Every structure is written in C-alpha cells, then in structure tokens.
C-alpha cells in the first residue's frame, strides 16, 4: 500500500527510522495497526522528538 504526502509525492515507510518509542509499544508489528502506526511515523519524520498519542507500553513482566 503506497503512502503519499500532501503534495502527492509517494513516501516509502522503509526509509523512515523506527522511533525507540515504537519498539516499546504493544501495537508494534500488529497488522491491524500498520496503517495508523506508519502514518504516525511519516507525520513526525521531520521532527526532533517523536510523540505518539496512541502509544501503549509493552508489559515485559
């Protein structure tokens, strides 16, 4: 599934570094969350700090 910016340019999610926050999230890697998570990362790609309001901490216990 292709993703596009506001100008119609195709974006490749593989070109965007995975934020550390995502690796500690319950939703990371779940197919049903792929689109939402990818759009979130694409939206923050130019920012210094990544913030995700859908983040749910992974329980490692």
Averaged over 2-7, what is the pLDDT?
Answer: 91
**Residue 19 pLDDT:** 93
Averaged over 10-39, what is the pLDDT?
Answer: 93
Q: Is 41 helix (H, G, I), strand (E, B) or coil?
A: helix
- Predicted confidence (pLDDT) at residue 61 exceeds the cutoff of 70: no
The neighbour count for residue 13, using CB atoms within 10 Å, is 17
Instruction: Give the confidence band of 38 by pLDDT, cuts at 50, 70, 90.
Output: very high
**Residue 7 pLDDT:** 93
Contact between residue 19 and residue 55 where contact means Cβ atoms under 8 Å apart: no
Averaged over 14-30, what is the pLDDT?
Answer: 92
Cα–Cα distance for residue pair 24/40, rounded to 1 Å: 15
Cα–Cα distance for residue pair 19/23, rounded to 1 Å: 7
């Amino acid at each position: 599934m292709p993703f596009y910016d506001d100008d119609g340019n195709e974006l490749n999610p593989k070109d965007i570094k995975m934020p550390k926050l995502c690796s500690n999230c319950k939703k990371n890697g779940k197919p049903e969350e792929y689109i939402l998570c990818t759009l979130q990362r694409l939206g923050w790609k130019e920012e210094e700090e990544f913030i995700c309001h859908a983040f749910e901490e992974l329980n490692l216990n």
